[in-house]
Amino acid sequence: MSIYFYSLGAAEEVTGSKHIIEVDGRMILVDCGAFQGRRAEADEKNRNFEVPADKMDAVVLTHAHYDHCGLLPLLGLKGFNGNIYATPATRDLANIIMMDSARIQARDAEYLQKQARKHGQEFSWRPLYNEQDAINTTNQIITISYRRPTWITPNILLEFFDAGHILGSAMALITVTDGEGNTKKIACTGDLGRKGKAIIRDPEILPPADYIVLESTYGDRLHETTEDALAKLADVATKAIKMNGKIVIPAFAIERTQELVYYFHVLVDRKIIPEIPIFVDSPMAVNATSIFQVHPECYDEATHEAFIKHHKNPFGFNSLRFVTSVEESKSLNEMEGPMIIISADGMCEAGRITHHLANTIGDPCNQILIVGYMAEHTLGRRILNREMEVRIFNQWYNVRAEITQINAFSAHADYQEATDWLQSMDTSGLKRIFMVHGEPEVQVVFKDHLEENGFKSVQIVKYGEHYEL
C-alpha cells in the first residue's frame, strides 16, 4: 500500500488550501481554496492551477471559507466530474461563496473593461469561472453528516467530526485500507476551531490517527477570552455613542458576522450597552444568516435553547438592519453616528467594506474594529499595522480613525488551544504531524512549542514536496 501526502496550497502560507492524499495512484483532494493577498499575485496563483483535476477520484471539503472552497469550480472546468463530500451546512454556505465570487469576478471584468476602453488600453483579464460553473460544482457535492462513515473509494473511508470553526466545519478522518485488515488513518483538521465560540459546538476529540494534517494560522499567539471580548466590544460601542462616531467592522460574511451580531445582542440583552443601530451591509451575509437558521444540527446548547425552546432569534433583534441594495449601502455614508457597520470582505480587499473604509477612515471620531486574521499584503493588514496612509481605489487616505483589534473573535485555535486539543486525544500511535496553513515564521514557533510538549515528529509542509506515509 503506497500512500503519499503533498500540498499545492497553504504550504508555508495561510490561504489557498489544497492537499492531496495519493493511495496506490488514486488521488483524494482535501479542499480547493483560493489564494488571497496582493491582488495581482493572488490572481496569478489562482490561474496557475496545478491540481491534476482530471485525475482526482474525489474531493473532501472541510468547510466553506473562500480559501478552502473558492477554486472548486475550476476543478470541473479542468475535467473533474467526481463527487465532492461535505457536511450539509458546508454545501449550502459553499454555494453562496462560489456564486458570490463568480458575480464579483463578472463585475470586476466589466469595470476593468470600461476603464481600459476609457484609456485606450488593451484588456484581456477574464473571470476564473462564472455562475453556471458554480452551480455545476454545487451539483457535485454529496452531503455527509457528522460521524457517518462513508466509503468514497473502494479502499478509502471518510468520517467527518465537528471542527468548531464555522457552521458546518469538519475535520476529515480518512481511513485507508489494503483489503487485508491493514489500515492507516489520516486526520485533516481543515481549520481547527476553539472552545466556547458562540452559536456552534466545540471542536470534537478525534479517534486515534497515524497522521494529523494540522493548521497553524495562530501558532505564535494566544487569544483573549470571550468575556474579555465582550468587555472590549462594550468599550468600543460606548465610545462610539459618546463621540457620535461610526464603528466599521470588516468581517467575513460567514460566521464572523453572525457571531458579532450575536454578541451585540447579548450586550444589549444584559443592558451593558444601550441599543445602537447595527447595519449588516453584505448581501452574502444576509443569505448566510438565513442558512444559519436552517441548520440547528450545528448549534451549541445555548443557541439550541434560544432558537428551539424559547424561539428567540439573536439574528433579528430590534436595532439590527440588513442592507442589501447598493442605494441603501451608499446611504449609510450620509447617516450620522453613532452606528455600527459590519461589512464584507473580511480582509478589506473587495466588496462594500472598501467604500465604508474610504468614507470613515479619515475621521478621528470613527473606529475601525479588526476582529479577524488579515493576510499579508492586504488592505486589512496595512490598517492593522496602523500605517499612516492607505490606498483605497487608487487614492491615498490619511488614517485618523482609531484602530482597535479584538483577537477573541478568531475562529482559529491559538497555539495553546491547538496543543490542548492534541493532548486531549490518544496520540500514542501518532507517527507525524504535518503542519500547514501558517506563515513560515509562525510555523517555526508553533513547531518548537509542540516539540516542547512531547510531539517530536512535526513536519512543516513544503509546497509540492511529497511525503510518504
Final residue of a structural domain among 409, 433, 449:
409
> Looking at the structure, do residues 281 and 332 belong to the same domain, yes or no?
yes
Report mean pLDDT in 10-residue bins for the chain, 469 residues.
95 96 96 88 91 96 96 96 97 94 87 82 88 97 98 96 96 93 95 90 97 96 87 94 94 82 86 92 82 86 71 63 88 91 81 89 95 84 92 89 89 95 96 97 97 96 97
> Looking at the structure, do residues 370 and 416 belong to the same domain, yes or no?
no
> Looking at the structure, do residues 160 and 274 belong to the same domain, yes or no?
no
> Looking at the structure, do residues 52 and 137 belong to the same domain, yes or no?
yes
29 beta partners = 20, 59
Residue among 62, 55, 75, 1 at smallest CA distance from 30: 62
> Looking at the structure, do residues 194 and 132 belong to the same domain, yes or no?
yes
* CATH code: domain of residue 108: 3.60.15.10
Range of the structural domain that residue 175 is part of: 3-221+411-468
Q: Which three cell numbers stand for residue 429?
A: 500511535
> Looking at the structure, do residues 403 and 271 belong to the same domain, yes or no?
yes
pLDDT at 140: 98
260/408 Cα distance (integer angstroms): 11
Q: Which amino acid is at 263?
A: Y
> Looking at the structure, do residues 170 and 290 belong to the same domain, yes or no?
no
The secondary element (H helix, E strand) that includes residue 72 is: helix 72-77
Burial profile 370-409: b = 16 or more Cβ within 10 angstroms, e = fewer: bbbbbbebbbbbbbbeeeeebebeeeebebebbebbbbbb
pLDDT at 317: 55
pLDDT at 305: 76
> Looking at the structure, do residues 153 and 246 belong to the same domain, yes or no?
no
Q: How many domains does the chain have?
A: 2
pLDDT at 320: 81
> Looking at the structure, do residues 335 and 431 belong to the same domain, yes or no?
no
